Amino acid sequence: MNQPTERTRKIYRATWIGMVVNIALSLLKLAAGILGRSGAMIADAVHSISDLATDVIVLIFARISSKPEDAGHNYGHGKYETLASILISLTLIAVGGGILADSIRNIRLVLTGEIIGRPGAIALIAAAISIVAKEVLYRYTVRVGRQTDSPSVVANAWHHRSDALS
Domains of the chain and CATH, by start: 6-66+77-165 (1.20.1510.10)
Confidence of residue 41 (pLDDT cuts 50, 70, 90): confident
- Per-residue pLDDT, averaged over 100-117, amounts to 84
What confidence score (pLDDT) does residue 29 get? Answer: 93
- Per-residue pLDDT, averaged over 50-79, amounts to 71
Give the separation between CA 4 and CA 121, rounded to whole angstroms: 45
What confidence score (pLDDT) does residue 77 get? Answer: 53
Count of alpha carbons within 13 Å of 70, Cβ hemisphere only?
Answer: 8
* Residue ranges with strand state E in 10-93: none
Confidence of residue 120 (pLDDT cuts 50, 70, 90): confident
What confidence score (pLDDT) does residue 143 get? Answer: 98
73: DSSP letter: B
- Per-residue pLDDT, averaged over 108-127, amounts to 86
What confidence score (pLDDT) does residue 30 get? Answer: 93
* Residue ranges with strand state E in the chain: none
Residue 73 has pLDDT above 60, yes or no: no
What confidence score (pLDDT) does residue 69 get? Answer: 65
Highest-scoring range by mean pLDDT, 24-28, 55-59, 61-65: 24-28
Confidence of residue 139 (pLDDT cuts 50, 70, 90): very high
Nearest CA among 131, 133, 126, 142 for reference residue 164: 131
Residue 39 has pLDDT above 70, yes or no: yes
